[in-house]
Structure formats: structure tokens, C-alpha cells
Amino acid sequence: MVTIAVDMMGGDNAPDVVIDGVKQAVNEFKDIHIILFGDEHRYNFKHERVTFRHCTERITMEDEPVRAIKKKKDSSMVRMADAVRSGEADACISAGNTGALMSAGLFIVGRIKGISRPALVVTLPSVSGKGFVFLDVGANADTKPEHLLQYAQLGNIYAQKIRNIKQPDVALLNIGTEPKKGNALTREAYNLMNQQNDFKFYGNIEAKELMEDEADVIVTDGYTGNMILKNLEGSSKSVGKIIKQSLLKSVKNKLAALVLKKDISNIGKQLDYTEYGGSVLLGLNGIVVKAHGSSNAKAIFSAIRQAKVASEQEIVKTMKETVGA
């Protein structure tokens, strides 16, 4: 039985969508137990494998992250992280304040010894539908070459354990494919990755090739990764709007849309971030999953599924053994 702590009050649409996502999860998976943290006045669901804990405080999107974690000890996010630290829960998920969740991960759950900086990892869609592992997407804006090397090691383990890829191709995001391309950060990171034997280094990869199935894991700094992530999310939504507008322009197009309805639906599913769950904060002493702030019930369910798989695959144990000191 895997026990997952869930922040019921985190996210733009909390707590209703969080509760709905938990309902889906406990109905789908018979081997999970959920500990739900939140306001008892907003809790309207009971299940034999769901334990509810009332919290008197809530961390909002406007709260200053570190201050909120230190001051709001009875918030749903802090108590959720405490459950992982104490060993009561195997993993935790929240769709709340990203900065506060990262602070909770660092100060409450704690880092694996030997990990310089944890990284946020996400699985993004690719042309084939297989997807690719991408990190860091926002944990650290300022990065050193040795941090990128460590991200690559963490991403390699994640791809093996979670994506079931035996020997992932790990690439470095850069402005060109040649070894000498890029700035001082990427050139030195390339040299470090090229000299190691822990993972299969693909080399540099350009942003235009991200979704072309060229590599299984792609590494970059948190500043660049966060911009790439938001750009891909925005682009997919814009493309969807363009297709919809085009199909509604004429009767002929509407008829074509009816014929292609199933194919269009499959394309939308392939590009839907809710299929992949949330971002995992790698390098911590426990599993911390950040669901999208605007998550719907399906996204919460996917994040719970991701936390369940990560727990079952013991990725924290593997990272301690292979990357940690």
C-alpha cells in the first residue's frame, strides 16, 4: 500500500477539483491510501482509504514562499510535507504556490546528501506520443555546470524508473549542436557530460528539436526551462484555437471536422499536459510532486498516479545510491 499526502487547498480550483481527483484515484487504484490535508468545512467526501486532517491555515499564491512555510505551520502544504518527512506518507502532491512547495521540499522534506540543488522535472509530449523528460523547469534560475551534470544524472534515473527506458539518451539544450556552441555554462556542462560514464550522453540539442524524439532526457537551467515550458503550454493552446477557428469557418470545414473528430481528439490528448501529471522535485529525501496551478481533476489524478509509481519504483533510494554522497 502506497500512502500519498495531498494538499487539498492548493491550486486555482481547490478544493473541489482536488477532491474529485482523489476520488478518481482511490477508485482506480486499490493499493493506495490518501491523507488529505485541508479545511474540514470544505471536505465533503469519505472513503475507507482516505484519511482527512483538518488544517487551520492555507498558503496562497500571493504568499512569500519561505515566510509562508515558516509562519503557517498548520497549513495544508506544511503538514503534507511533514507527513513525508516523518515517514507517515511515501509521497506528497500539491497544486499550490510553486515557490512555497519547493521551500517545503528543501526545508521540511530535506535534500539527499550530496545533491547540490534539486530540480523540477516534467514529462512533455513528443511527436511519437512517447514524450520526453525535461529538467530543470524552474527550481533554480541560476545554475553552474556541475548542477547541470547532476540534473542529467537525476533525469537519467527518472527516465529509467518512471518512463521505463532502459538506456535513455540524455541531451543538453543549447543554441547549436556543435560542442563549442553556447555560453560558458553550456560549454563547460557539455565537457562534464561528455567525460562521464553514468549515462548515455547524446550531445547538444536545439529547442526546435525538443518534440522530435531526438532524446529521452533534455537538460537545461531552471530559467530557460521554465520559459520553454510556458511557451510550449501557450503554443499548444494557441494551435488548438487556430484549428478550431479554421474548422468552423465553412460548412465544408465543419463536415471535415466531423470526419476527423476522432483524430483531432487524439491530437489534443497527445498534447494535453494533464495526461502526464505534475512536476517532480528530484533530489529530495522524499517524493514531492507539483501539480499545475490550474489543474483539473484529471491532472490531480495523473499527479497522484505519478507519485504512486515513483514510490513503487523507489526512485529516492536509487538516487541516494547513485548520485548522493
pLDDT value at position 65?
93
Return the domain boundaries, the chain. 1-115+283-316, 116-274
Among the listed residues 323, 306, 295, the one whose alpha carbon sits nearest the alpha carbon of residue 118: 323
In angstroms, the first-to-last Cα distance of the chain is 29
Number of alpha carbons in the 13 Å side-chain half-sphere of residue 176? 7
β-bridge pairing 200-205 and 169-173: parallel
Phi/psi at 144 (5° precision): -105, 160
pLDDT band of 292, cuts 50, 70, 90: confident
Express each pLDDT in 2-37 by its tens digit: 999 999 999 999 999 999 999 999 999 999 999 999
At 113 the three-state DSSP class reads coil
| Residues near 271 by beta carbon (within 8 Å), at least 6 away in sequence | 125, 236, 239, 240
β-bridge pairing 32-38 and 50-54: parallel
Among the listed residues 112, 281, 268, the one whose alpha carbon sits nearest the alpha carbon of residue 291: 281
pLDDT band of 273, cuts 50, 70, 90: low
For 142: left if phi > 0, alpha if psi spans -120 to 50, otherwise beta; the answer is beta
pLDDT value at position 225?
93
Q: Which CATH number is 116-274's, of 3.50.50.60, 3.40.718.10, 3.30.565.10, 2.40.110.10? A: 3.40.718.10
- 224-251 residues labelled b (16+ CB within 10 A) or e (exposed): bbbebbeebeeebeeeeeeeeeebeeee
Distance from the Cα of residue 145 to its chain's centroid = 22
Biggest alpha carbon–alpha carbon distance for the chain: 65
Q: Tell whether the model's pLDDT for residue 114 goes beyond 70.
A: yes
Q: Which helix (H) or strand (E) holds 185?
A: helix 184-195
pLDDT band of 126, cuts 50, 70, 90: confident
Q: How far apart are CA 157 and CA 126, in angstroms?
A: 20
Q: Tell whether the model's pLDDT for residue 101 goes beyond 70.
A: yes
Q: Which CATH number is 1-115+283-316's, of 3.40.718.10, 3.30.565.10, 3.60.70.12, 2.40.50.180? A: 3.40.718.10
* Residue pair 93/303 in contact by the 8 Å Cβ criterion: yes
Express each pLDDT in 57-75 by its tens digit: 999 999 999 999 999 999 9
Q: Looking up cell 471536422, which residue turns up? A: 257
Express each pLDDT in 296-308 by its tens digit: 999 999 999 999 9
What does the block give as the cell for 280? 517532480
Can you tell me the mean pLDDT for 171-188? 94
Express each pLDDT in 201-259 by its tens digit: 999 999 999 989 999 999 999 999 989 888 877 766 666 676 666 656 666 555 555 55
- Of the chain, the percentage scoring pLDDT greater than 90 comes to 70
